[in-house]
Structure 1
Amino acid sequence: MNSVAIDTSSNNLHLVTALQEERSAVWALYCQLAEMKPFSSENAIRPMLSEFSQLLIDYISFGHFSIYEHLIAEKQHQTSTLSHAEKIYPAFSSTTASAVTFSDIYDDGRRKFNTENLAQDLSMLGERLAERMELEDRLCSMLLH
């Protein structure tokens, strides 16, 4: 039984580490984009914005489907943990929706977008990502303990 606990703990640590690596990559690219202000040329920013949007969706999906769902599956018999995770879920899900909306607006290479809105949209996304990171930290803590 102890080896099962070690395997589960090791897998959980691997998931948390992978999430933190994706988070760092997203945040680094987010900062690079933000430093490109003022956004004057749609064509100059489009490749980086597309890369960011794709990485953002991968990161959001990993947190949502790997971390949250793994936590729920693993802690199904710990009602206090489940209750806390379920309280976090609406805000967590809302941050997922914000990231998807951002990606929908800025990752479609065929559609024109207004660079005047990009600074404001990036700022709002940054706030949502900060909120998400706080929620993820709480979920990760539950997963590791």
Structure 2
Amino acid sequence: MASQYSGGPERRTRTKAMVENWLDERQQMLVLYCKLAGIESFDPDKPEKQLLQDFCQMLVDYVAFGHFEVFDRISSGDERRGRVIKVAQAAYPKIAEVTETVVEFNDKYDFNDHPQPLDSLTRDLSRLGEDLASRIELEDRVVQALLQ
């Protein structure tokens, strides 16, 4: 029976599938982000509340996938290519910093735990968008290294 970490085509297929899942979650998160960013005024009693909850959930899922599927795989030694490790190590500190921003945003706006006034949501979404943009640039470097 082959080891889970055997080399060859199976390993590359698993890497490609992991990257595709990560990018798919990112795309879903960005679609929800754009929908939220396009709303002019927020009212927690309107459908925006559900959209915001859906966004928070997808945002956390996307960030968790990056950490627990991609970066854990690299840092645990399952990734042996030096270039991938080097790119990931360079990108990770900023990615981890953005993760903290994501957690703070989620804690503030996840209505499942507590109702939150939405008067600063537009400003917070803008800041989050800037942080996500820089994270995505770094992730794309990791993706490129993984797929080469």
TM-score band, normalised by shorter chain: 0.7 to 0.9
For residues 25-82 of structure 1, the C-alpha deviation after alignment (integer angstroms, 9 at most, x for no partner) is 000011111111222x12212111111101110000001111112233233462x543
1:75 aligns with 2:76: no
The one-letter amino acid paired with 1:19 is: W
Cα distance in structure 1, aligned partners of 2:51 and 2:81: 44
SS of equivalent residue, structure 1 residue 4: coil
Q: Percent identity?
A: 33
Shift of residue 110, structure 1, vs aligned partner: 4.7
**Superposed, which structure 2 residues align to 1:106-125 within 5 Å?**
106-125=109-128
The one-letter amino acid paired with 1:27 is: L
Shift of residue 112, structure 1, vs aligned partner: 2.9
Shift of residue 140, structure 1, vs aligned partner: 1.3
Q: Which moved more, 1:60-69 or 1:117-126?
A: 60-69
Name the residue aligned to 1:20. 23
For residues 97-141 of structure 1, the C-alpha deviation after alignment (integer angstroms, 9 at most, x for no partner) is 111111111013352322110000011111111111111111112
Q: TM-score, normalised by structure 2?
A: 0.86
Q: Which has the higher contact order (CA 8 A, sep 6+)?
A: 1
Name the residue aligned to 1:58. 61
Report how many residues are paired: 141
Structure 1: unaligned runs, 5 residues or longer = none
**Superposed, which structure 2 residues align to 1:91-106 within 5 Å?**
91-106=94-109
SS of equivalent residue, structure 1 residue 28: helix
The one-letter amino acid paired with 1:60 is: V
Name the residue aligned to 1:11. 14
Cα distance in structure 2, aligned partners of 1:117 and 1:43: 16
